[in-house]
């Protein structure tokens, strides 16, 4: 894949988003009551058109074009999975923590992820078979997820806008921890950068919310798994995700007992 092209495409969409961000924009509500702005639709159009122009044989599934039926999608061997504006709530709050997410899914697994932060002009690129990089201010840095030492306080990153009652119960099982808050896909980037050790999520997400982040974390040596230790799969009949845990390794999740605790919490909810 042409990573330079994908990066330029994300930046072009980011420019369109910032043009709206700097105005007194209107906010609509989608069917699931989540917010929608002109920035979402403009970014979707730029990315979808750009991907189809460059890669006409690879279908595109985007949050703003999710009406594609499973009967059509089920036979896709490779496809793009796009969130043209992840963190619309952060966008509406004007706290700058929103991203553009582009993932390439082969089979049921994301193999490439692009996350772009328009306000900070910062680009994250992850190729599962090659590695993960952060590109900002004309500098490129290779990223590696961090393995906490047993004596370390675990740095947990959580959502700024989606609280969960199960989260504190899970964190009570850590001997010591500190909590960071981030919006949108910045939480995946924090783990990939080594700024955070653990990102648990119990609330619902969609496939386009996690695919690029999963590719980036995996490319940085980390994992995104469900509470039973299974990697997320994509292009399901329902595009809704269940709970997940992001960390430096599955071994660390097992050794800390976090997988067992998380699975118990989810099972209790059912």
Confidence of residue 87 (pLDDT cuts 50, 70, 90): confident
Q: Would the pTM of this model clear 0.85, i.e. be above it? A: yes
The tens digit of pLDDT for each residue in 120-171 reads: 999 999 999 999 999 998 899 999 998 887 777 889 998 766 667 788 888 8
Q: Where in the chain is the domain with CATH 3.30.540.10?
A: 3-142
Q: Does domain 154-269 have CATH number 3.40.190.80?
A: yes
**DSSP state letter for 231:** B
SS3 content of the chain, % helix, strand, coil (to 5): 35, 30, 35
- 3-state class of 22 per DSSP? coil
Mean pLDDT of 72-80: 96
Q: What is the pLDDT of residue 32?
A: 52
Confidence of residue 92 (pLDDT cuts 50, 70, 90): confident
Q: What is the CATH number of domain 3-142?
A: 3.30.540.10
| Residues facing residue 198 across a β-bridge | 156, 247
Q: Where in the chain is the domain with CATH 3.40.190.80?
A: 154-269
Q: What is the pLDDT of residue 33?
A: 47
| Residue 96 CA: distances (Å) to CA of 89, 100, 181, 242, 266 | 10, 12, 13, 27, 32
Supply the mean pLDDT for the chain: 90
């Amino acid at each position: 894949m042409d990573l330079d092209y994908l990066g330029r495409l994300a930046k072009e969409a980011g420019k369109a988003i910032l043009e709206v961000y700097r105005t007194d924009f209107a906010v609509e509500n989608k069917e699931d009551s989540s917010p929608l702005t002109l920035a979402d639709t403009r970014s979707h159009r730029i990315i979808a058109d750009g991907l189809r122009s460059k890669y006409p044989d690879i279908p595109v599934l985007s949050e703003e074009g999710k009406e594609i039926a499973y009967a059509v999608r089920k036979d896709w061997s490779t496809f793009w999975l796009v969130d043209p504006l992840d963190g619309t709530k952060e966008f509406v709050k004007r706290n700058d923590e929103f991203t553009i997410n582009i993932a390439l899914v082969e089979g049921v697994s994301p193999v490439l992820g692009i996350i772009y932060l328009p306000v900070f002009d910062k680009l994250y690129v992850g190729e599962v078979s090659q590695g993960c990089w952060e590109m900002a201010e004309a500098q490129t840095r290779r990223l590696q997820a961090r393995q906490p030492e047993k004596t370390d306080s675990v740095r947990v990153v959580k959502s700024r806008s989606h609280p969960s009652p199960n989260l504190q119960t899970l964190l009570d099982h850590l001997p010591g921890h500190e909590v960071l808050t981030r919006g949108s896909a910045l939480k995946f980037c924090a783990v990939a950068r080594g700024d955070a050790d653990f990102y648990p999520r119990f609330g619902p997400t969609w496939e386009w919310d996690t695919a690029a982040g999963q590719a980036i974390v995996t490319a940085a040596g980390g994992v995104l798994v469900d509470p039973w230790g299974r990697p997320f799969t994509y292009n399901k009949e329902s595009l809704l995700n269940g709970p997940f845990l992001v960390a430096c390794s599955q071994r660390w999740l097992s050794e800390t007992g976090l997988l067992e605790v998380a699975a118990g919490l989810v099972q209790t909810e059912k």
